[in-house]
Structure 1
Amino acid sequence: MLERPALYPWNDAAVAMLKRLWIDGLSCSQIATELGPGFTKNAVIGKGHRLKLPTKPNPQSRGQKSAMGRAAAKSIKANRPKNGKGQPKPQAIAARIAGPKFETAPLPEEEMGNDVTHLIGIMDLKAHDCRWISGDPLNVHGYCGKRAKEDSSYCDEHHARVYMGHAR
């Protein structure tokens, strides 16, 4: 291991050792281990690039694909249409994108007899809409959506419920 100053680890001896180990073909993490504490794999990579050392070959680029990579490539080839045949029809694509239709469960407020016709989804909320959540926030719910008070996230009714007893 090399003695080095605390502020600048790359002294001449460390650079010489880096060059020698780089040429010998050690991995960057192995070089960092050889150089000692304070040297990281990323520090070795960065210094190697700044010194314009020859790039190390990537094991993946030498045809040594992982088992998962080989399986994925095989799957892609198997699913590739031959001569343009087997392409899905536009209707099938649209049905796949739209997904199956599900009937929605009633909101708890609706079951209790409360009016839920004005509730909106999160994607329909505008900047000044009331953010009061009706229903189960983890399941089926909607937002009040009425015009919010100035400087509030809630309409008059819900603002009074949230800040009950607080001067605002």
Structure 2
Amino acid sequence: MSWTDERVETLKRMWTEGQSASQIAKVLGGVTRNAVIGKVHRLGLSNRGAEGEEVPVAEPVLAPAPEPLRPEPVSEPEPPRPVPPVAPAPMAVVPARRPIAPAGQPLPPQPSANEISPEALASQREVEKRARRLTLMELTERTCKWPIGDPATEDFWFCGLPCAAGKPYCEAHVGVAFQPMSARRDRRR
């Protein structure tokens, strides 16, 4: 369907008479309501009153421009404060990680089930007797981070003894924390 001069004149007449876009589309035939609305906008007929007269578009109201900010007078400038020199942070020593075995390769040797025993638990209790009893803020990467006690009480602390190589805990707590799968499976039965 094309917009012929005759069809455009019919659209203009019906629009100024106050007909709806749907009514105009029915009379013209072969066009949709949206096509009529689009043509009305392109022709500049989109504003109309109740009797079909043009409705003037209100001019936008502009707010007055804000006044420029004026700096407040300063009686005397403050002398610059000396900045204390900052010492460079010490370089962190990262322990070497064990390589991960690729798929299909045998796993690295694991501790055997006989290494986890009641004696290991007893040695853990002995270690806790000579532990350093550190707070969270006192821990470093070289101290054992094994928590002891209830964190909700005042009597909560961390072991603090020297860590085992590449582990977050001392030797006694490593024996408790890192148990082979077979020992855990046997204990569940």
TM-score of the two chains, using structure 2 as the length reference: 0.28
Relative contact order, CA 8 A, sep 6+: which one is greater? Answer: 2
> 1 or 2, which has the higher helix percentage?
1
- Structure (1 or 2) with the larger CA radius of gyration: 2
